[in-house]
């Protein structure tokens, strides 16, 4: 028998944890009745797993030397060459290290996962390789992606290539840093609370969080399925649109992709800003920690778009202010249930499961003291909400998310785009290794006020670099209607064509 059978004592203990009280006689009866179910487990255990085949030769990768990794932005270097021709031929791409690349290590920023090697490629990897891309390696990311700063990764803190010793933003820290440094042409990031857009704002790259479900999440380690997004980080708008064109569309394996609508994202890049209506979100400029210098750069960028022909005016969506509060039960209870108790995959969805990841990540329980403080705090909040309030606040927040979505949709009925600062600050110094835990956590979560709401609603949102404050980049965030990434790109391209963003 492949599956270990419980004895009477073990079954009684399981029952107690399920709040079931069994007599010894009932335990023996249940043990006998359970055997056919466990025989089915034996049958499944003896069958090979059903996962996509691996194409395109590759080696196991290697950890880069300090000399070739000055910002700690690489976790593993490799070279997986795609097709000889295609839309991405000749382009190098870095993958955030929560994305499966078969045969190459993936630790998702956490020592508790170190040594795990995926057995198949994420759908987005397959799509890029089929279009001629070369995968150059895995980019460092934050500890299980739970940080908007770049100081929580177990391999090492990631430095901002614009200023060593400063945050590159998170959690797609290495992805943005490598693009900003010119080490790769393109990168893939993930975004649950701003993790594509925050590092793009801090590093001065273009980062698109597409509409929820537009890009298949298959083969990417989840945090919480209703918040999980994946998308492109690039050095210019055209490359971003090109990469999204390759990535977008249903794969038949991601159940979040019902009703996906794919468009030609490059079609409107030369149309200019004329005719676009951009609503400047008042609440996006009302964050308590908004740096006035950041606000000024964003408003100057919007003035450029106005001069280029766009209609630009203030708009109010009061519900925007509740977005960060809604994220707390959704993110904390959701990640505790799916990523932690569910061993990285969770339950109750149809799609491709990484069985090897489930087996390996289950070991976090023996190493829980090694989890980052950012993750531990989220888990404590989540477990408390699940145990004390039986998940009612997750449920209510998911209901209220429809209220938030409707508020944005009403505004976007009058305006093509909403605009605001991506983050309220510029990159901050990396906390020292011996920083108090309060500082460590503050540097991870202080910048989420404008980004997190759009993970809840799923609207497309892009950070574009729009100026410098004391030598550090500022990001302008443009938010569009669901599936209207092409409109976001049209405005971003018009702004980019209007002059060097560093000169604003």
Cβ-contact 315, 181 below 8 angstroms: no
Q: Say whether pLDDT at 184 is over 90.
A: yes
Same domain for 258 and 335?
yes
> How far is Cα 261 from Cα 188, in angstroms, rounded to an integer?
21
- Widest CA span in the chain: 82
Whether 171 is catalytic: yes
Would you call the peptide bond into 31 cis, given omega within 30 degrees of 0 as the criterion? no
* Catalytic position from the list 110, 147, 171, 225: 171
Same domain for 14 and 138?
no
Q: Name the region of 144 (left: φ>0; alpha: ψ -120 to 50; beta: rest).
A: left
CATH number (domain holding residue 193):
3.90.1300.10
Distance of CA 468 to the CA centre of its chain: 25
The predicted model gives 86-90 an average pLDDT of: 98
Whether 96 is catalytic: yes
Same domain for 272 and 329?
yes
For residue 220, the 8-state DSSP code is B
What six digits make up the tokens of 329? 């039960």
Same domain for 26 and 110?
no
What six digits make up the tokens of 174? 């290495």
Same domain for 149 and 27?
no
Q: Is residue 53 part of a domain?
A: no
Cβ-contact 170, 398 below 8 angstroms: no
Q: What is the pLDDT of residues 338-359, one digit of tens each?
A: 999 999 999 999 999 999 999 9
Number of domains in the chain: 2
Same domain for 40 and 78?
no
Provide CB contacts within 8 A for 392, sequence distance 6+.
none
Classify burial at 495, counting beta carbons within 10 Å of its beta carbon; exposed 0-12, middle 13-18, buried 19 or more.
buried
Q: What is the pLDDT of residues 461-495, one digit of tens each?
A: 999 999 999 999 999 999 999 999 999 999 999 99
Model pLDDT, residue 2? 81
Q: Is residue 1 part of a domain?
A: no
pLDDT tier, 168 (very low <50, low <70, confident <90, very high otherwise)? very high
Using CA atoms, how far residue 210 sits from 38, 227, 364, 368, 465, in Å, is: 42, 12, 31, 33, 17
What six digits make up the tokens of 217? 């999440």
* Catalytic position from the list 96, 138, 209, 297: 96
Please give the residue range of the domain that contains residue 12. 8-45
Q: Is residue 61 part of a domain?
A: no
Same domain for 209 and 305?
yes
Q: What is the pLDDT of residues 398-418, one digit of tens each?
A: 999 999 999 999 999 999 999
pLDDT above 90 as % of the chain: 99
Model pLDDT, residue 85? 97
- How confident is the prediction for the chain on average, in pLDDT? 97
Q: Say whether pLDDT at 1 is over 90.
A: no
Would you call the peptide bond into 171 cis, given omega within 30 degrees of 0 as the criterion? yes
* Catalytic position from the list 110, 153, 195, 200: 195
Q: Is residue 35 part of a domain?
A: yes
Q: Is residue 261 part of a domain?
A: yes
417 three-class SS: strand
For residue 4, the 8-state DSSP code is P
Q: Is residue 344 part of a domain?
A: yes
What six digits make up the tokens of 201? 């704002």
Same domain for 137 and 34?
no
How open is the CA angle 138-144-149, to the nearest 5 degrees? 85
Same domain for 125 and 26?
no
Same domain for 364 and 485?
yes
Q: Is residue 52 part of a domain?
A: no
Cβ-contact 102, 343 below 8 angstroms: no
Same domain for 37 and 78?
no
Same domain for 35 and 176?
no
The predicted model gives 267-281 an average pLDDT of: 97
Cβ-contact 492, 462 below 8 angstroms: yes
Q: Is residue 193 part of a domain?
A: yes
């Amino acid at each position: 028998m492949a599956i270990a059978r419980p004895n009477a004592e073990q079954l009684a203990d399981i029952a107690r944890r399920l709040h079931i009280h069994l007599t010894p006689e009932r335990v023996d009866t249940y043990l006998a009745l359970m055997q056919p179910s466990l025989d089915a487990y034996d049958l499944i255990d003896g069958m090979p797993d059903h996962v996509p085949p691996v194409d395109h030769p590759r080696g196991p990768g290697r950890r880069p030397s300090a000399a070739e990794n000055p910002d700690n932005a690489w976790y593993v270097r490799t070279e997986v060459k795609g097709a000889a021709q295609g839309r991405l031929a000749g382009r190098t791409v870095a993958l955030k290290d929560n994305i499966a690349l078969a045969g190459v290590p993936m630790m998702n920023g956490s020592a508790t996962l170190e040594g795990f090697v995926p057995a198949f490629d994420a759908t987005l990897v397959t799509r890029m390789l089929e279009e001629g891309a070369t995968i150059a390696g895995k980019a460092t990311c934050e500890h299980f992606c739970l940080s908007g700063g770049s100081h929580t990764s177990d391999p090492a803190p990631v430095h901002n290539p614009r200023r060593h010793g400063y945050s590159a933003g998170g959690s797609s820290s290495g992805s943005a840093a490598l693009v900003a440094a010119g080490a790769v042409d393109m990168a893939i990031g993930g975004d649950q609370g701003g993790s594509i857009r925050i590092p793009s704002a801090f590093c001065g790259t273009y980062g698109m969080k597409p509409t929820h479900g537009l890009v298949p999440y298959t083969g990417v380690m989840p945090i919480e399925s209703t918040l999980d997004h994946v998308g492109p980080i690039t050095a210019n708008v055209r490359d971003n649109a090109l990469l999204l064109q390759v990535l977008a569309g249903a794969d038949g394996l991601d159940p979040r992709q019902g009703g996906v609508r794919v468009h030609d994202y490059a079609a409107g890049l030369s149309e200019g800003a004329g005719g676009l209506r951009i609503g400047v979100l008042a609440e996006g400029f009302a964050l308590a920690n908004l740096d006035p210098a950041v606000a000024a750069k964003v408003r100057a960028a919007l003035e450029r778009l106005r001069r280029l022909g766009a209609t630009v005016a203030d708009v109010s969506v009061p519900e925007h202010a509740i977005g960060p509060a809604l994220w707390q039960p959704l993110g904390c209870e959701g990640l505790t249930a799916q990523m932690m108790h569910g061993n990285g995959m969770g339950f109750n969805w149809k799609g491709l499961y990484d069985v090897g990841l489930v087996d390996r990540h289950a070991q976090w329980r023996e190493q829980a003291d090694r989890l980052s403080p950012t993750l531990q705090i989220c888990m404590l909040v989540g477990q408390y909400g699940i145990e004390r309030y039986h998940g009612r606040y997750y449920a209510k927040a998911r209901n209220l998310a429809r209220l938030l979505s409707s508020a944005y949709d009403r505004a976007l009925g009058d305006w093509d785009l909403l605009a605001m600062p991506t983050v309220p600050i510029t990159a901050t110094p990396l906390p020292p290794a011996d920083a108090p835990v309060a500082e460590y956590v503050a540097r991870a979560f202080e910048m989420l006020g404008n980004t997190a709401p759009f993970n809840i609603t799923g609207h497309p949102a892009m950070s574009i670099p729009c100026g410098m404050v004391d030598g550090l980049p500022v990001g302008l965030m443009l938010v569009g209607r669901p599936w209207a990434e092409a409109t976001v790109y049209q405005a971003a391209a018009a702004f980019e064509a209007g002059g060097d963003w560093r000169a604003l």
